Structure 1
Amino acid sequence: MRVDPNTIFHQPSFGRQPLSTSAAWLARITRWAGPYVSLVQMLVIGLVLLSLSRLGLMAWQWDRVSATGIAGTMLVQGVRADLILMGYLFVLPLVLAPFLAYRKTQRAWRILTVVWAACGLIFVVFMEVSTPQFIMQYDVRPNRLFVEYLSHPREVGATLWNGFRIALLLGVGATIVLGVSLLRLLKAASTGAGLWSAKKLLLTWPLIVLVVFFQIRSTTAHRPANPALFALTKDAMVNSLIVNSPWSVLDAINSMGKEAKSSEIYGKLPRETVFAQVKAAPWLKDHQFPNAELPTLHRQLAAVQRAKPLNLVIVLEESLGATFVQSLGGLPVTPELEKLKGEGWWFEQLYATGTRSVRGIEAVIAGFPPTPARSVVKLSLAQQNFYTLAAGLGQQGYHTEFVYGGEAHFDNMRSFFTGNGFQSVVDQAQMKPKFVGSWGASDEDLFDKSLERLKHLHGQGKPFFSLIFSSSNHEPFEFPDGKISLHDPAKQTVNNAVKYADFALGQFIREAKKQEYWKDTVFLIVADHDNRVYGNSLVPIKKFHIPGLILGADIQPKRIATIASQVDLGPTLLSLLGVSSEHPMIGRDFARDDATPGRALIQFNDYFAWLEGESATILRPGQAPLLAKYEAASGKVDFNAGTPSKAQVEQAMAHVMLPSLLYREQRYRLGK
């Protein structure tokens, strides 16, 4: 007896379902598609789902969308972006069609295309369902950060479960329900779809490939379309709504494979111009750069001469932006830091280089400028023989140590630190914490362990450098009860977590002052970045404003009012320690000059901003640079400031091209 493959395909084991009204409708409009019926159905359903999601997101963010005046254009261009995504999802089955889309193999072909289409649509649903929560946190659709966090399932899982449980359950539930429904719909709608003859299949296949090629390319310009092409407004979040989350993430994955040349998204600049621009900075122009192989390596003479070099302790505070410091225009939730600021060097205009902890680490600990790529903390060519303060101070006879309340492997920190000068790492496994949250031991436990370690290091009779990295001010904002008077009624909020972190910091500094090593130790308290970086601007500069305080030893009170960057802290600390040394850092030594106008380097998603005074030159991938006026007091960014000059563009380009070049050629290191 002959068995009809169609019957096999629709046996109960594969879940045969009667045609519903929607499946019948879908089957009718795609019957002409022959062997490609499931792919065309995926296209139709995908476009509908993505458009509905975009409409919902636009309605949710209507105040910002309406302010741009391009709501209609967003919908039209959004469909264009969605077609690009669906084109990518066509590629694999289209490649296999000439080999499988025949009557003899029709069962395998139909199973493949139905399952592929269902998986593609489930991916679309999952990413779009995940989008609102991601926007609430990062003010943009899922991007590179979404991918990076997937490599840390324990920490991320604990954060989601403890801080976003309802959203997580609803999102997973919605994805499962819609996924099952879509699979059934696709199977039912494909019933009775016929295959073409081999001749028709092979003759039409090149034409279909050509159509899909142009669908993906979406432009006749020199380069194919990419998400940057859809940046139509001055609001980065609104721009992200024009595209779709699946494509945004796929593009991020693709860009992560090109990180060695990441800065080239802004264009090209001759190598000689890059080095000339960087070395022309007022604080570098008088230095000698004798090693052609290591173009930024130079000798820095300490501005403060000491008979014996001082110890160094850097307290890197998680997500402590100026948002939470009243004297910097923020909330009154850091009273301990406010008390301490009058005891040392207080930076009034210090800016973070990025929005991730590892970006803050590379800037503060390595003096390395930002790029559009991931931080060098996570990149392969920087895992050994890459300059850090620990590497430099280690050559000066320092013992170097990293202390963290969580698991030091997070964000690849352990590998980067141990490969680049840190002689020991202390994390949660070496502590006996009284309180443990999703991200590890509480800040009190962290500082208790740090005090213990500092006393031990002091007893060894050699200078030391200790990097202490806090974590209590991280979602889901867990900290011990009864430690502070809450700022917000609900306990687990960012304002309360900041206030607790500040409380723990105050305790730590008070105890450190009692120790013998205080008079011989320079302390830096600085944030890695702000808690949430958002705003209706391509680059919300105000959200990069962070506190910075240097105190201890013989440091006298001082206010530093000029603009400063995290990359300036390393050279400044070396001077205050009394350490003269060779290093490749391009930052400024504020111990030698704190009056010359400064600058800040800011990377926000794919945008790079060069901030100098009230002027911000903003580089955009695939588009002309912009000139903006930044008012520090209000945080307002005005994009009607004209066009940046050639000199301004070259200066910005040089400083974003330099780190990419130094990383790619492995030239950011000490000499032999």
Structure 2
Amino acid sequence: MSKLFPSRFKLLFYFVKTYIILSTLIRLIFVFWVFKEVDTSFFKIANTFLIGLLFDVGTVSFFALPYALYLLLIPQRWHGSVFDRIVTWFAYSLGLVIFLFSFFAEITFWEEFKNRFNFIAVDYLIYTYEVVKNINESYPIPLLLSGILLITALLLFITKRKGIFQKTFTSESTFMDKLFPTLLVLGTVIIFALFVKNKDAEQFENRYNNEIAKTGIYSFFAAFQNNELSFTDFYKTLPVNEAFAEVKNKFRKRGHSLLFPEKELIYRNVPNTDSLPELKPNVIFICVESLSAKFLGSFGNTENITPTLDSLSNHSLFFTNLFATGTRTVRGMEAITLSIPPTPGRSIVKRQNNQQLFTIGEVFKKKGYTRNFFYGGDGYFDNMNSFFGGNGFDIVDRGRGFLMDASINTTRTNIEDDEVTFENAWGIADEDIYNKVIKVADDAHNTGKPFFDFVMTTSNHRPYTYPEGKIDIPSGSGRSGAVEYTDYAICAFLKKAQTKEWYKNTVIIIMADHCASSAGRQELDVKNYHIPGLMLNVPNTSSQKVNKMASQIDIFPTLFSLLNWNYDTNLYGTDILNMKPEEERAFVGTYRKLGLLKGDDKVMVLGDQKVSNFYQWDRESNELLPLKENEAFLKEIISNYQTADYLFTNDGLKLSTLEIEN
């Protein structure tokens, strides 16, 4: 055995062993963290750790390879030289620091998302200002860094005490002695690089077992490499013309007139069927960060943290069976503005070629509205300014030195320091952004043109800090306080807005971008897509609770119908109030799993290995109970997601395409 693994490689394999032990410890922590949800039967948990061990070996091999090549190539006479000692101590110490840092980062990431590293972690690497500041505000960074350095020093001490360094430096191994272990490491790297995918760890029905089986660093680089998924390559499909025929038939049944029935387009006219005069009130849309339905007393919460929203639910169109399309803000923005089922991979908001698209803003533009996007942080984050600015919205954000693409023809207004009373990593307090909205609305009202404002809030986001003295829960103490402050700020906004002349002719819509959490042990945790939606001050419309199942993508088509608009559209959404029972549905998904939920609580999920699973969703237990696949349901879900992906990738959402066809 000593010939296969010579003493010159003693430190390298001790490094590998140390990583595997630490990674297994992290895996154990995650198991106990979600113990009630993870499948802990002996066979399943043993396989979870076995798969995890294999991925740990593959991951650490990538880090071990450079040093293995160094050990192979450095001449025997240099073993233990000053150069050798410096390189070895530095490489070993750096490797330990990287691993320990990644483990601490994984714990904080798991706390927030109950996932191994994914697209979100990759995005966080890009937007370092917000993320570093948020981490600094949320966690005791000096203590964490000190802990990493202390554990590194302890591991170095143990390694030296065990004589591992000495055996490495005094080895007389020859080139041939060192060849086998080097080839072993190299072979492992080649196998994992060419043949092993991150999703190969997903061998269980329980999502938590799948996530725990993965290795964080490997998951991170997998997400970094694969930020887009080809629908046609990875998902079940139909012939393109058949998929479009299915979707178009739904639109025809709703009374829409397809403008290009022979084309792979959904551009159509939605008529004003009652021939009533068109109404053009101002519209302020408030997209509330992470406002799960479960936070509202109207949905059974007993904390009394949303008194304003609970009161408004009785004086508005209150959508009680509404679902977000995704789990991130950019997914919510995509659904609301483009009114489209979520495409696999990254949100369209963050993808290339996402400007000059047909959005709800285009409908407002044709009705004579000005359009503004408000964000209390720097709108470069998550590509928001580029997306909204590139699709015709003027930008109002914090704007501290981050420039927009010069090719975007839009106006950008900074929120100045003297307009801010409180600010954290993600942006200014909700009260401050609402005050800016009111100020801009005052100016717009004086021009005589109706305005549409899209407002993105930030206060209901970790680190959950907000101005002191506003509510009875101290700032920074948790999500409940952030939700209560969010509710308080909405109340303050409405009180100020009601004193304005423009208020009586302004519709205000309040809806979440997504829920505060989305992880669960099921393929899709359907309950964690349930969000509230309210429409206030809609002309000629009485308050009511709307119990029909619907999606974020339907909110603005519903408003357009309430305003008696005849308009051309490229939007998938429809008028919720006129939905027939068989039309009730919601699109819910992650960047890989694409789901369709119907009014009878049946759910189908498309996976990226050309698989589909059909379930009955039990609302009480939040369980997905397997059903025999339904061909009609399968055709419906494929046609919606496939055509949405086709339109984006083939410029079918582009204004230029629709104008040429027109």
Note if contact 1:228-1:621 (Cα within 8 Å) is conserved in structure 2: no
Instruction: Confirm whether residue 145 of structure 1 aligns to residue 120 of structure 2.
Output: yes
1:618 CA drift (Å): 1.9
Residue 314 of structure 2: SS of its match in structure 1? helix
* Local SS of the residue matching 1:279: helix
Partner of 1:297: 267
Unaligned 5+ segments in structure 2 are: 400-413
Q: Aligned to 2:515, what secondary structure does the other structure show? A: coil
Give the Å deviation of 1:325. Answer: 1.1
Q: Return the offset for 1:336.
A: 0.9
1:388–1:421 contact (8 Å) kept in structure 2: no
Distance 1:93 1:644, change over 3 A: farther
2:471 equivalent among 474, 484, 487: 484
What is the match of residue 288 of structure 2?
A: 317
Contact 2:463 2:476 in 1 (8 A): no
- Alignment equivalent of 1:576, drawn from 562, 580, 586: 562
Deviates more, 1:88-97 or 1:576-585: 88-97
Q: State whether residues 316 and 526 of structure 1, in contact with CA within 8 Å, keep that contact through their aligned partners in structure 2.
A: yes
SS, match of residue 226 in structure 2 = helix
Count of matched residue positions in the alignment of Structure 1 and Structure 2 = 628
2:211 pairs with 225, 228, 240, which one? 240
Deviation at 1:317, TM superposition (A): 0.8
Change (3 A) 1:205 1:235: closer
Q: Which segments of 5 or more consecutive residues in structure 1 lack a partner in the other structure? A: 1-27, 218-223
- The residue aligned with 1:213 is 190
Where does residue 336 of structure 1 map in the other structure?
308
Q: 1:393 Cα deviation (Å)?
A: 2.1
Question: What does residue 192 of structure 1 align with?
Answer: 170
SS in 2 for 1:526: strand
TM-score by length of 1: 0.84
Aligned mates of 1:490, 1:205 — CA distance in 2: 54
AA at the equivalent of 1:423:
D
- For the 8 Å contact 1:321–1:546, the answer to whether it is kept is yes
Shift of 1:187: 5.0
- Measure the CA separation in 2 of the matches of 1:144 and 1:469: 21
| CA distance, structure 1, for counterparts of residue 3 and residue 254 of structure 2 | 68
2:624 corresponds to 1:653: no
Is 1:51 the equivalent of 2:24?
A: yes
Partner amino acid, structure 1, of 2:47: T
Task: Provide the residue aligned with 1:363 in structure 2.
Answer: 335
- Aligned pair in 2 of structure 1 residues 96, 553: CA closer, same or farther (>3 Å)? same
For residue 35 of structure 1, report the CA deviation from its aligned partner: 7.0
CA contact (8 A) 2:325 2:341 kept: yes
Q: Which of 230, 233, 246 pairs up with 1:261? A: 230
Deviations 1:590-623, CA, capped at 9 Å, x for gaps: 2543655411111135322211121111223337
Contact 1:576–1:591 (8 Å) recurs in 2: no
Q: Would the alpha carbon gap of residues 441 and 319 (structure 1) be closer, same or farther in structure 2, given more than 3 Å must change?
A: same
Q: Which residue of 2 aligns with 1:11?
A: none
CA positional deviation for 1:405 = 2.1
Q: 1:228 to 1:30 in 2, by over 3 A?
A: farther
**Alpha-carbon shift at residue 324 of structure 1 (Å):** 0.8
How far off its partner does 1:327 sit?
1.7
**Contact 1:386–1:420 at 8 Å: present in 2 too?**
yes
2: CA distance, partners of 1:135 / 1:78: 16
Q: Aligned pair 1:535/2:535, yes or no? A: no
Structure 1 residues 596 and 96, CA gap change in structure 2 (3 angstroms) = same
CA deviations 1:266-287 (Å, max 9, x no partner) are 3444323432343343676654
Percent of pairs with identical residues: 25
**Which string of whole-angstrom CA distances, capped at 9 and with x for unpartnered residues, describes residues 632-654 of structure 1?**
3x252233x32322333333333
Matched, 1:415 2:392: no
Of 423, 447, 459, 1:460 maps to 447
On the 8 A contact 2:287/2:511 being kept in 1, the answer is yes
CA shift, 1:302, in A, is 4.2
Letter of the 1:561 partner, please give it.
N
Superposed displacement of residue 508, structure 1: 1.8
- Preserved contact between residue 6 and residue 177 of structure 2 (Cα < 8 Å): no
Q: How does 1:348-427 map to 2 (within 5 A)?
A: 348-382=320-354, 384-427=355-398
1:404 maps to amino acid: Y
8 A Cα contact 2:523 2:593, kept in partner: yes
Aligned equivalents of 1:556 and 1:263: distance in 2?
A: 45
Partner Cα distance (2:547, 2:305) in 1: 22
Moved more, 356-365 or 329-338: 329-338
8 A Cα contact 1:39 1:113, kept in partner: no
CA distance in 2, matches of 1:660, 1:97: 49
Q: Report if the CA contact (8 A) 2:289-2:512 is conserved.
A: yes
Pick closer, same or farther for the CA change 1:379–1:211 going to 2, 3 Å: closer
CA displacement, residues 395-426 of structure 1 (integer Å, 9 cap, x when unaligned): 43321111222222222211111111103424
* Residue 158 (structure 1) aligned to one of 122, 133, 136: 133
Aligned to 2:38: 65
Residue 81 of structure 1 is matched in structure 2 by 55
Q: Distance in 2 between matches of 1:333 and 1:646?
A: 44
Task: Give distance in 2, aligned partners of 1:30 and 1:163.
Answer: 51
Q: Partner letter of residue 247 of structure 2?
A: V
- Give the whole-Å Cα distance in 2 for the aligned partners of 1:526 and 1:552: 15
Q: Give the Cα separation in 1 of the matches to 2:388 and 2:77.
A: 58
Q: 1:345·1:560 contact (CA, 8 Å) conserved in 2?
A: yes
- Kindly tell me: are residues 183 and 419 of structure 1, through their superposed partners in 2, closer, same or farther at Cα, counting changes over 3 Å? farther
User: Is contact 1:343-1:551 (8 Å) kept?
Assistant: yes
C-alpha spacing 1:65/1:596, structure 2 compared with 1 (3 Å): closer
